[in-house]
């Protein structure tokens, strides 16, 4: 005899069966996939509550190719979410929390060894892939600055490096050079110009790492993946509500977080835009980001503030290197929907980096102005 649930579409059936592994309230009424994000597989699950209302949860399968130790990722996220919850409990604000699994802990490992976790759904919000206004840029920067401030008293040693050397740009560069040398799937011929552009910036790639090694920049708990679409914004008021995607929260530099935010929240073009004339480093957006970030994170030192513009260039370079490496390796790391998408992403980053280089003095001037007004 066929059960009722086996007639469900495959996605619904997956969501229902994974949802059963967590201690969450209500009766399952539906589920669907969320396409945003390049790394994990993310589902939203809907549950009917006793009082007739509906509650949503996020069920997420941690990418085992990207995170070699997904259980360590869950442990880090436990530490960070508990640290933040202790500060925000009772405030009325929405913050991220993981639900316990029936078999203990905050994760479920399925028969294929994939690790799943369950989060509360941040309600009344949405995330954006492309920034729409300076107000939105300001909100996103305030949210990431505030996040950094909330975890500034969390011991860096209590977190493991979920991806070792994640922002070690010279190591990323070396891997790209290796792939350019062995050209495993014969894609090099089509990207010679891009490889050369990145090669010419080898020294830039080493700047933050050497400042960190020289003790010039403090290592703190950072988010490390501060893309615009990793902050949930209130659908009505437009205010930033909650920072998500905590898988790479680990020891890092403020410049990484500010840099990635600027990379993703200044241009009007999507990260994989094919019409490069749309890619633009818009100074009003940059200004709003610098203002929001510096204001929300008063613990930034003068040296950290001074490193922010370098962070923008280094992170944009680093992400270009990573996209190109993945393209040469056969698109194994970042989710892609079409052939050449990683290469399109590379070209957008290169275009953006060229503009940052041209406008560097202007960017420095803006940062200086906000730093002075906050001190
Ligand atoms: P990835 O690592 O693949 O980027 P994310 O954790 O960023 O995964 O999740 C992908 C998308 O799912 C986000 O951009 C957001 O739109 C949505 N999402 C993730 N977590 C939540 C949440 N707790 N509440 C609401 N939406 C969420
Ligand atoms: C990935 O997970 P997501 O989509 O927020 C990646 C980031 C890259 C970004 C580029 C764990 O971010 O490092 O900057 O894609 N996350 C991981 O869009 O590698
Ligand atoms: Mg994400």
pLDDT confidence of residue 62: 98
Q: Report d(CA 362, CA 283) in Å as an integer.
A: 8
Contacts within 8 Å (CB) and 24+ apart, 200-205: 201/317, 201/353, 202/170, 202/173, 204/313, 204/314, 204/317, 205/169, 205/170, 205/172, 205/173, 205/314, 205/317, 205/318, 205/321
| C-alpha 179 – ligand 1 centre gap (Å) | 31
Eight-class DSSP state of 100: P
Q: Determine the pLDDT at residue 305.
A: 97
Is the CB of residue 37 below 6 angstroms from any atom belonging to ligand 1? yes
At 6 the pLDDT is: 55
The preferred substitution site among 38, 222, 269 for testing ligand 2, maximizing ligand atoms within 8 Å of CB, is 38
Q: Which residues surround ligand 3, an ion (CB under 5 A)?
A: 37, 230, 245
Q: In whole angstroms, what is the distance from residue 258 CA to residue 220 CA? A: 13
User: Cα 334 to chain center, whole Å?
Assistant: 12
**How would you classify the pairing of strands 54-61 and 115-120?**
antiparallel
Please calculate the CA angle 341-349-211 and round it to the nearest 5 degrees: 135
Query: How far apart are the CA of 356 and the centre of ligand 3, in A?
Result: 24
Closest CA to ligand 2's atom 13:
225
Specify the pLDDT at position 374.
Answer: 73
Structure tokens at 243: 């920072």
Q: Is the C-beta atom of 99 inside 6 A of ligand 1?
A: no
Q: For the CA atoms of the chain, what is the radius of gyration? A: 21
Ligand 1 centroid to residue 143 C-alpha, Å? 16
- Torsion angle of the four alpha carbons 72, 129, 136, 301, in this order, in degrees rounded to the nearest 10: 40
Cβ(122) to ligand 1 under 6 A? yes
Residues with Cβ < 8 Å from 49, sequence gap 6 or more? 25, 26, 55
Nearest CA to ligand 1 atom 6: 245
Tokens of 259: 């840099």
> CA 77, 81, 86 angle in degrees (round to 5)?
150
Give the separation between CA 26 and CA 246, rounded to whole angstroms.
26
pLDDT of residue 4: 47
Q: Which residues line ligand 2 (CB under 6 A)?
A: 37-39, 66, 225, 227, 230, 245, 247-248, 260, 271, 319, 334
pLDDT tens-place string over residues 83-134: 999 999 999 999 999 999 999 999 999 999 999 999 999 999 999 999 999 9
Closest ligand, as measured to the CA of 166: 2
Strands (E) located in the chain: 27-34, 41-48, 54-61, 108-109, 115-120, 125-126, 220-222, 231-234, 240-243, 250-252
Phi-psi region of 215 (alpha: psi -120 to 50; beta: other; left: phi over 0): left
User: What are 54-88's pLDDT values in tens digits?
Assistant: 999 999 999 999 999 999 999 999 999 999 999 99
The per-residue b/e assignment along 318-351, b for 16 or more CB within 10 angstroms, e otherwise, is: bbbbbbbbbbbbebebbebeeebbbbbbbbbbbb
Distances (CA, A) of 317 to 274, 351, 352, 354: 18, 10, 9, 10
- Alpha helices, DSSP H, located in 89-191: 134-150, 169-182
Q: What is the pLDDT of residue 1?
A: 41
pLDDT (0 to 100) of residue 5:
47
The C-alpha atoms of residue 44 and residue 79 are separated, in whole angstroms, by 23
* Nearest residue to 232 (alpha-carbon basis) of 154, 124, 304, 90: 124
Q: Which atom of ligand 2 is nearest to the CA of 229?
A: 5
**What does residue 28 show for φ and ψ, rounded to 5 degrees?**
-60, 130
Residue 126 beta carbon below 6 angstroms from any ligand 1 atom: no
Low-confidence ranges of the chain (pLDDT < 70): 1-9, 375
Is the backbone of residue 98 left (phi > 0), alpha (psi -120 to 50) or beta?
Answer: beta
């Amino acid at each position: 005899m066929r059960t009722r649930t086996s007639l469900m579409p495959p996605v619904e059936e997956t969501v229902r069966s994974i949802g059963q592994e967590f201690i969450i309230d209500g009766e399952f009424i539906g589920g669907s996939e969320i396409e945003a994000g390049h790394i994990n597989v993310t589902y939203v699950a809907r549950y009917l509550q006793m009082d007739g209302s509906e509650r949503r949860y996020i069920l997420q399968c941690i990418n085992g190719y990207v995170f070699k130790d997904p259980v360590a990722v869950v442990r880090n996220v436990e530490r960070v979410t508990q640290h933040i919850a202790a500060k925000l409990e009772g405030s009325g604000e929405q913050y991220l929390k993981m639900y316990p699994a029936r078999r203990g802990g905050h994760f479920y490992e399925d028969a294929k060894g994939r690790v799943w976790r369950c989060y509360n759904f941040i309600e009344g919000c949405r995330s954006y892939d492309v920034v729409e206004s300076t107000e939105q840029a300001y909100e996103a920067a305030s949210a990431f600055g505030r996040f950094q401030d909330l975890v500034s008293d969390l011991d860096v040693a209590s977190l493991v490096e979920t991806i070792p050397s994640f922002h070690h740009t010279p190591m990323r560069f070396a891997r790209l050079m290796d792939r350019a040398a062995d050209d495993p799937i014969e894609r090099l011929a089509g990207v010679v110009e891009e490889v050369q552009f990145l090669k010419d910036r080898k020294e830039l790639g080493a700047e933050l790492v050497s400042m960190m090694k020289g003790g010039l920049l403090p290592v703190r708990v950072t988010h490390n993946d501060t893309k615009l679409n990793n902050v949930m914004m209130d659908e009505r008021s437009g205010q930033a509500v909650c920072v998500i995607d905590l898988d790479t929260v680990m020891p890092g530099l403020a410049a990484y977080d500010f840099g990635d935010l600027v990379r993703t929240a200044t241009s009007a073009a999507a990260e994989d835009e094919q019409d490069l004339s749309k890619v633009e480093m818009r100074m009003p957006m940059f200004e709003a980001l610098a203002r929001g970030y510096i204001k929300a994170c008063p613990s930034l030192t003068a040296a950290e503030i001074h490193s922010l513009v370098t962070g923008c260039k280094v992170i944009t370079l680093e992400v270009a290197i990573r996209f190109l490496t993945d393209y040469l390796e056969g698109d194994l790391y970042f989710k892609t929907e079409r052939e050449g998408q990683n290469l399109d992403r590379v070209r957008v980053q290169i275009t953006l980096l060229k503009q940052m280089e041209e406008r560097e003095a202007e960017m420095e001037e803006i940062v200086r102005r906000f730093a002075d007004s906050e001190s």
